[in-house]
Amino acid sequence: MSQHLIDIRSLSLNELIEAMALEGQKPFRAKQIYEWLWKNTATTFNEMTNLSVELRELLQNKFIIRPVTVSEYQVSSDKTIKNAFKLYDGSVIEGVLIPTAGGRMTACISSQVGCSLSCEFCATGKLKLLRNINSDEIFDQVKLLHQQSLDFYGKPISNVVYMGMGEPLLNYKNVLRSVELLTSHQGLGLAPKRITVSTAGIAKMIKKLGDDQVKFHLALSLHAANEEKRSKIMPINEQNSLESLAEAINYFYEKTKERITLEYIVFKDFNDSIKDADELIKFYYRIKAKVNIIEYNPIDGGQFQQTTPERLEAFARHLQNHKVIVNIRRSRGKDIDAACGQLVNKNNTVAERVFKK
């Protein structure tokens, strides 16, 4: 029977009002239901206690709620928590809760089941793309990580980063809808500036973000400011050159006045020389940006290694000497393969760190 039921969380408020009107219900009832779904994050119709029993039965006969669940999680020695989230169709994705200095609690979430981009340094890139993640499934990841943050550390989620599995801009509609739900006063009420969407670099979609005048932060996974090197590790660069990305980023800035973040993973003997730093400086000054230098986290069967601390520091210092706004981002959750680029690296089932639900 469930295949004939409508996924109620796929409906906008206006669509829900229309659906309820067909059942003889007034608009305020639809608004009550909508608030239960998004503000109170109800996962069953029986939780909607200010609705009559008759209306709840009607909802159960017409609609379905398909919540995401945590199938297992692992806790790192640095308190990072990696989660395996199970979707309604049995698909499994991963999301990470990252506690950092100053009390910040960051939810790192996925936008696709698998990925189609095949970046050489990323474990997720070795998977096939199975499907896009729906907006309600993206919302649920944040909701679950928010609850986990309260349960484990007594603190709410403060930031959300779309840096898990998949390419967010290839799931554009669902990603923007999920941001709307997360930031709405009818949803979780997060400030847009607390949200960062990270892209491998799709020029036309970066321009579309500008046209849509989004309020969240945008990050570009750059990792090389040299066309040949970037194409070698990120095949997407062959259709989205540095030239086209610079143009798109400048367009985005004109529309939003938002400085983007360039993410740059430093690989040993590949992109960690002073010459590489000079190429990054040159690209940086073509756009409005800041730079995050990221430690590399090796993956199974990967061809790259982490650079030495000395070379990483020299690289960052060279950028700073040229007035580049730069921050070194230290990896979290490496011991449970929860760090950047490691999602779905391996099935680590060490008994002390895996908790079945």
What tens-digit pLDDT sequence spans the chain (357 residues)?
A: 455 899 999 999 999 999 999 999 999 999 999 999 999 999 999 999 999 999 999 999 999 999 999 999 999 988 999 999 999 999 999 999 999 888 899 999 999 999 988 887 887 767 789 999 999 999 999 999 999 999 999 999 999 999 999 999 999 999 999 999 999 998 999 999 999 999 999 999 999 999 999 999 999 999 999 999 999 999 999 999 999 999 999 999 999 999 999 999 999 999 999 999 999 999 999 999 999 999 888 776 668 899 999 999 999 999 999 999 999 987 665 665 554 544 454 444 332 333 333
Catalytic residue among 57, 263, 340, 352: 340
67-115+124-199+346-357: CATH superfamily: Aldolase class I (3.20.20.70)
Residues found in the chain: 357
Helix (H) or strand (E) holding 179: helix 172-183
Sequence spans of domains, the chain: 2-64, 67-115+124-199+346-357, 205-331
Q: What is the 3-state secondary structure (H, E, C) of 299-347?
A: CCCCCCCECCHHHHHHHHHHHHHCCCCEEEECCCCHHHCCCCCCCCCCC
- Do the domains at 2-64 and 67-115+124-199+346-357 have one common CATH topology? no
For 2-64, CATH gives 1.10.150.530
CB atoms within 10 A of CB 340: 24
Reported CATH class of domain 205-331: alpha beta
Find the catalytic residue in 94, 167, 263, 279: 94
Q: Please give the Cα distance from 133 to 218 (Å, whole number).
A: 19
Does residue 94 have an active-site annotation? yes
Burial (CB count within 10 angstroms: exposed 0-12, middle 13-18, buried 19+), residue 228: exposed
- One-letter amino acid identity for 256? T
Distance of CA 40 to the CA centre of its chain: 22
User: 340 catalytic, yes or no?
Assistant: yes
CA-based Rg of the chain, rounded to a whole angstrom? 21
pTM: 0.90
